Amino acid sequence: MDKRTEQAFAYLEKNEHSMMELLKNLVSIETPSADREANERIAAHLDTYCDALGMEREIHHFEKAGPTFAAWTRPQEKKPILLLGHMDTVHAVGKFGPEPFLVKDDRVYGPGVYDMKGGDVIALFALRALNAVGYEDRQIKLVLTGDEEVAHAFSHGEAGKLVEQYASGCEAAFNLESSYTNGEVTTRRSGGAIIRVKVKGKAAHAGKEPQKGASAILQAARMITEIESRSVFGYLSFNCGRISGGTGANVIPDSCEFSIGIRYAANAQYEEAIAFLKNLCEHVTVPGTSCTMEQNGYYPAMEMVDGADHLLSLYQESCKLLGEPIPQGIQQSGCSDTSFVTRIGIPALCSLGIQGSGAHSLDEYAIPSSLLTQCKKLVATILAM
């Protein structure tokens, strides 16, 4: 172990209690995606935190979404490194009770404690440890988005574009998304999109003159059956998860809307899905109806790019240095902001955050002892680059 790595580890060990205190503070600021003001508060808190580290900062505000927070150290000759995370969570404020942060035995519970406030703590303490040992090899950028859990729908995709902007020109990226208890690393992720389909028909009395109407619901039903039949899990799948329309049982419905969740293993399959849906909208089978579609959320697939294997090998060496199990690169079905990085050819690793389980549930928990270990792995990898 080289001297800088040894010093960085000693710093983190000395400040392990402070890591837990920061985790408690961040979890206690409850930040559901739909609560713009709450996400503004946590961004302001992080702004103060990174200012104390001497970092330049910028908070990107949106009308209906939580902000995207960015901070960065001084530019260096070598290409920068990007650390990624998000501030928003999924549960409404108060869902976990008046005291959202609960420590019980070797677990800690709370909204977003696992997905992904714990990862945010790891990113911030990695910056602190690198700062403590005088690290100036590369510029470090930190980007935390505020509407990740809703596929950046509230910012109309702008937060995802900011991730790409900050990732541009970087050597590599590390996303501190929630980790597995066995320490596996995500190197590939499925992409996801949300498509809303709107069907227009013509209203008429269902008993007296049904022939004068055109049922938007019937057209939607035919489309949904066709869409669902195209699903191949693990390749390209469709889930028509929400539908509304009509005014009453005695009225031919003149409108219907439904939303489709699409998952795809590779970005080429997204293009295939969109072409299929557009063709379906353009060729309605119920006379007198028409159809349009719009995209309400989008994640590209995280694909392996040049340099990803080398990045994984560096991380594996860091695990070996710590006497930890050697992780393999795996594929996940869930989406993350890492996909915006790999889309522009930057190698990245994901799921490097706190270990635990139960993301998006009331049983969500994290393993606090993993904070120190996971942070050491990240710091050792950065120092080895």
Which residues lie below 8 Å from residue 219, measured CB to CB, with a gap of 6+?
A: 199, 201, 256, 284, 285, 286, 289, 291
Q: Are residues 170 and 54 in the same domain?
A: yes
Residue at token pair 């693990």? 234
At 116 the pLDDT is 96
Tell me the per-residue pLDDT of 304-343, one tens digit each, with 9 for 90 and over.
999 999 999 999 999 999 999 999 999 988 889 999 999 9
Tell me the per-residue pLDDT of 218-261, one tens digit each, with 9 for 90 and over.
999 999 999 999 999 888 999 999 999 999 999 999 999 999 99
At 181 the pLDDT is 83
At 183 the pLDDT is 86
Q: Are residues 288 and 371 in the same domain?
A: no
Q: Are residues 180 and 310 in the same domain?
A: yes
The span from the CA of 378 to the CA of 357, in Å, is 20
- Which alpha helices (DSSP H) does the chain contain, by range? 3-14, 16-28, 36-51, 118-132, 158-167, 216-229, 267-282, 308-321, 338-342, 370-384
Q: Are residues 293 and 349 in the same domain?
A: no
Q: Are residues 19 and 157 in the same domain?
A: yes
Which of 263, 298, 333 is a domain's end point? Answer: 298
3-state secondary structure at position 9: helix
Which of 271, 298, 325 is a domain's end point? Answer: 298
What are the φ and ψ backbone dihedral angles of 91, each rounded to 5 degrees?
-95, 145
- Asked if 14 contacts 124 with a C-beta cutoff of 8 angstroms, the reply is no
pLDDT tier at 127 (50, 70, 90 boundaries)?
A: very high
Q: Are residues 143 and 287 in the same domain?
A: no
The span from the CA of 46 to the CA of 69, in Å, is 8
Q: Are residues 219 and 95 in the same domain?
A: no
The mean pLDDT of 279-291, rounded to a whole number, is 98
Tell me the per-residue pLDDT of 16-53, one tens digit each, with 9 for 90 and over.
999 999 999 999 999 999 999 999 999 999 999 999 99
Which of 265, 298, 331 is a domain's end point? Answer: 298
At 216 the pLDDT is 98
| CA 176 vs CA 116, 124, 186, 202, 242: distances in Å | 8, 10, 11, 51, 31
> In this predicted structure, which of 108-112, 164-168, 262-266 has the lowest mean pLDDT?
262-266
- Percent of the chain clearing pLDDT 90 (strictly above): 94
Q: Are residues 225 and 176 in the same domain?
A: no
Tell me the per-residue pLDDT of 361-385, one tens digit each, with 9 for 90 and over.
999 999 999 999 999 999 999 999 9
At 200 the pLDDT is 98
Q: Are residues 352 and 242 in the same domain?
A: no
Q: Are residues 373 and 265 in the same domain?
A: no
pTM score? 0.91
- What CATH number did the domain enclosing 105 receive? 3.40.630.10
Three-state SS string over 35-49 comes to: CHHHHHHHHHHHHHH
Q: Are residues 59 and 180 in the same domain?
A: yes
**Could you tell me the residue range of the domain that residue 205 belongs to?**
191-298
- What CATH number did the domain enclosing 287 receive? 3.30.70.360
Q: Are residues 125 and 198 in the same domain?
A: no
CB atoms within 10 A of CB 58: 13
Q: Is the dihedral of CA 6, 8, 12, 14 positive or negative?
A: positive
Into how many domains does the chain fold? 2
